[in-house]
Amino acid sequence: MVRPKKFLGQHFLRDANIARRIVEALEVTDPVTPVLEIGPGTGVLTAFLEEQFPTRLRLVEIDRESVDYLKTRFPALAGRMLHGDFLAMDLEEIFPEPFVIIGNFPYNISSQIFFRVLDHKNRVTQVVCMLQKEVADRIASKHGSKVYGILSVLLQAYYDIEILFKVSPGVFHPPPKVMSAVIRLKRNARKELPCDEVLFRTVVKQAFQKRRKTLRNALKHLNLPAAVSAMDLMDKRPEQLSVEDFIYLTQLLEKGEGDQV
């Protein structure tokens, strides 16, 4: 067996029923879309995934000991197992077409995984994953909530997000210190935002870096046009703005609205 390594965020799920439910949450109806499992570990999800997607499953696992174990347990998958770091793999090269992601994520890097998903949002059509419940709540929360933040806005701009169910620490070896939750993100119909997407990301990040300040204050080094700065909207704090509000704000900044006044 594989000895769990804390620095790799290894908490192995021991409950096959929960593993089955996670795999069943993946809604793939076509026969070709590749399925990428991040961090298969000892293969509790992999067993169900192999049954359902025998020819289009790919695995990426950073831990050499797990990879060796998986190769003996799933010899048919040996050629589709990448020993490496998901955060460093060349997704463009390996998945030039749309694909979906599944996994019990290493909790220490789940935010970084989502930033990568955003970088490839037009090819990542769905994500089903288990992660720390707090992070799941944050990602799915709407404006007005205390936990609403950068990833909530950026992910909700492109994905419909559902929290599916909670999972308690006791079903893992070793048990994590936190509750877990399984969520599903499905790419929405928006091909691109009706504003400059790079500026949108900058505005959202800058706004939440100073979440206790008003937007006027938090965004002042973006050289706000005077007319924008004077708006009532700018008295608000970032957690009060919906995704649509952030898009609108980006549009204003893009146009330099008020510059001509």
Out of 32, 76, 87, 230, the only residue in the binding site for ligand SAH (CB under 6 A) is: 87
- Shortest Cβ 171–ligand SAH spacing (Å): 10
Closest CB 250 distance from ligand SAH, rounded Å: 31
CA–CA distance from 243 to each of 149, 177, 203 (Å)? Answer: 11, 32, 12
Q: CA 131: distance to chain centroid?
A: 10
CB of 8 to ligand SAH, least distance (A): 4
Give the one residue of 69, 86, 148, 208 binding ligand SAH; rule: CB under 6 A.
86
Cα-flanking dihedrals φ and ψ of residue 220, to 5°? -65, -30
Query: Candidates 55-63, 120-128, 160-168, 214-222 — which segment interacts with ligand SAH by CB under 6 A?
Result: 55-63
Closer residue to ligand SAH in complex, CB, 60/203: 60
Q: Binding to ligand SAH by residue 67, rule CB under 6 A?
A: no
Q: Of 24 and 235, which has the nearer Cβ to ligand SAH?
A: 24
Is 152 a binder of ligand SAH (CB under 6 A)?
Answer: no
Residue 29: DSSP 8-state: -
* Under rule CB under 6 A, residue 10 binds ligand SAH: yes
Nearest to 35 by CA among 94, 75, 88: 94
Which residue in 260, 194, 201 sits closest to 228, CA to CA?
Answer: 260
Q: Binder to ligand SAH among 18, 50, 63, 184 (CB under 6 A)?
A: 63
- Tell me which of 23, 49, 61, 140 binds ligand SAH, using CB under 6 A: 61
Return the amino acid letter for 175: P
Angle at CA of residue 36, ends 59 and 134, nearest 5°:
105
Q: How far apart, in Å, are the Cα atoms of 166 and each of 55, 127, 155?
A: 30, 17, 20
Nearest distance, CB of residue 21 and ligand SAH, angstroms: 12
Binders of ligand SAH among residues 32 to 51 (CB under 6 A) are: 38-42, 44-45
Percentages (nearest 5) of helix, strand, coil residues in the chain: 45, 20, 35
Site string for ligand SAH, 92-131 (x = CB under 6 A): ------------x-x--x----------------------
Which spans in the chain are helix H?
Answer: 16-24, 44-52, 64-73, 91-94, 110-119, 133-140, 150-158, 197-209, 215-218, 226-229, 243-255
Q: How many residues bind ligand SAH (CB under 6 A)?
A: 24
Q: State both tokens at 188.
A: 């929405």
Nearer to ligand SAH, 63 or 239 (CB): 63
Tell me which residues touch ligand SAH (CB under 6 A): 8-13, 38-42, 44-45, 60-63, 66, 85-87, 104, 106, 109
